[in-house]
Chains A and B, each alone.
Chain A
Amino acid sequence: MTSLAPGSQRPLAAPTDRTNAPALRSRTLPLRWGRKLYLAANIAILVFLLTPIAIVIVFALNPTPFIQFPPVGASLRWFEKFFASRDFMHALLFSLEVAAMTTVASTVLGASAALAIARGNLPGSRLIVATMLSPLMLPAILTGLALFQSYVLLDVGRPLWGLVAGHTLVTIPYVVRTTLAVLHNFDVRLEEAAQNLGASPTRTFFEVTLPLVKPGVLAGAIFAFIVSFDQFPVSLFLVAPGSETLPVALFNYLKFDLDGTIGAASVVSILLAFTVVLALDRTVGLRSYVKL
């Protein structure tokens, strides 16, 4: 017998329908297990991604001059050593300077190239895309070596612009890729509408096109900054004596001293990258990028 809810004519479902129970159980069991497996897989991926960062943090806070697990305490001595080192500070600031210049260069060039590829009806646009993305396929160490050899042949030494050019070369693909992804779903009728309403091409670009492709350009810029800031193989050949980037300085340090300073420097790098992303989110807004 079915019961009625008070004040209602609709019958209430039986708390347990014993006749349909086996069928329901067989349907919900795989769902429940599937959900658990899905959760477990996600947790495993998170652990896989975050474990190296956790180890670096433990290494940076460990007071002993070697990696010790479990840690015997917590100390900021390696951070003090890192911030007190003139060489490391110079390398950190130099890395930031190079990454900032690289970000501007690769964002302007990469986003312009992506717009030209998507809108320009260029002959052989697929070939152009492949060429723009090719630095990703080449081992970066070879890119560095080839650029180094070119600079030597041109007798220009190892200038700052040469290093920025090398970093730009390997970061442009990120900007091109992310901007193209946004442009792929771009509704050109919005631009046409703006122009029909009297907007000039320049105004249309800055007030319609750019705000709409911003998430892709911004995402590319963030990638460019982080890739440049952490860039090692290209920098290895292009840094000039006395002007080493942080990853190169760390590599040279590692050869002689493997202490927690390396961990402290890594933590600072991670925090810097995180700060850049956070600052961009607060100033320009990244939430629209999340929709990508």
Chain B
Amino acid sequence: MTVSPHRFPLSRRRLLTAAVTLGAGVIAAPYVARAEEPVLNVTGWGGKWGDVMKAEIGPAFEAEFKCKLKTDTALPFLPKLQASSRSAPIYDVLHTNSNEQWAAVEMGLVEPKVDPKLVPNIADVYPYAVSDKIVGVCIFTSAIGLGMRTDKGYGSITSWKDYWDAKFNGARGGYVIPANSLGQAFVMMCGSLYGKGQTDLDAAYAALEKLKPIKLVDFTGAMEKLILSGEAGIGILHDSGIYRYDGQNQPVDFVTPSEGVLSLEQVLSITPGSKVKELGNAYINYMLRPEVQKRLAETVWYSPANNKVKLDAKYDAKLLTTPEKVGKLIQVDWKWYNARKDEIDSRVNRIFRA
């Protein structure tokens, strides 16, 4: 039996051609795959927000807009965006808090505003969501006020100034200010309470000095646990950090001070170099839809920015869902704060070092 010489017609040239084609195919495969389905790279939170986004809201967006939504939940977002090319940024839509958005816009990493013509749902948002204190558009807000124990016999707390009461010495929770936006917002509040306004830093520093002894934490999650464990009787916290324990029989409550609550905004903005801006705008518009807003608001206890949203009674009673309630929000001038952040960080570190 003879073996045909044509059974394996593999010459050196064919082999090389096949290898080159295969190599090129491997290299080009990701680009081809990308060409088939547009990909929208966004940032987002973990926790319950991340769960509901991954399970429901993200897939529904992908199905409707026939795209792939890639959500980066691994902090820090800003250094990653900074390190990537301006013409091909790692994110198309940046979702983060206002302080970081202002830092991003100062560096030219995000566009200062979102075009209402391209995001029609902006027409229905409360004025604070597109005010001059906001980069892009705010989709949700939390109210920063005072979280406290209800079982310690502290009596009625109505004002921010009660936080300085000597009865809370040793039971007062605060933040490592350079690392936490609630702590930074609180510095501005101190200026308003004891000085000429948010920018009165000398008055703020003097007020901070009087808060000692105080227990400091980095994250709001740690503040929640500090209050839940009873280690702190009072602490600066956003409303969702208390309301999330609703129905769990915990002796904690959120106090809305008479002077108003600070605003902790969830903001979306578009990166200038994004290749899928249309999709980015569609995503922002989608996140502002009443049904999406309602689902997220009732999952994580954030107040929706869209004024057309009708929440269930339990949520409606506590969240900022009317013009009157929204009127209590105090927005921070993050542009001003960020310009002085190093100086403020250094000073507050000295104050709390002891």
Contact = CB atoms under 8 A, between A and B. Distances in A.
Contacts of B47: 253, 255-257
A148 interface: yes
Interface of B: 30, 41, 45-50, 70-76, 79-80, 83-85, 88, 90, 219, 221-222, 224-226, 228-229
Interface in A72-120: 87
Interface residues of A, number: 29
A152 B75 contact: no
Contacts, number: 72
A21 interface: no
Given A237-B80, A239-B74, A254-B219, A153 B46 contact: no
A54 B90 CA distance: 41
A288 interface: no
A256 B90 contact: no
Contacts of A248: 74
Closest 4 A/B residue pairs (Cβ): A256-B47, A66-B225, A66-B229, A252-B46
B72 to A, nearest CB: 4
Contact of B225 (A65, A149, A152, A237): A65
A199 interface: no
A166 to B, nearest CB: 14
B228 A244 contact: no
Contact of A255 (B75, B85, B229): B75
Contacts of B75: 236, 251-252, 255
A124 interface: no
A51 interface: no
Given A65-B228, A66-B229, A152-B85, A242 B70 contact: yes
Interface in A103-160: 145, 148-149, 152-153, 155, 157
A241 interface: yes
Given A64-B229, A67-B225, A248-B74, A258 B219 contact: yes
Contact of B71 (A145, A237, A241): A241
Contacts of A65: 225, 228
A171 B175 CA distance: 35
Contacts of A241: 41, 70-74
B228 A66 contact: yes
A256 B80 contact: no
A66 B70 CA distance: 33
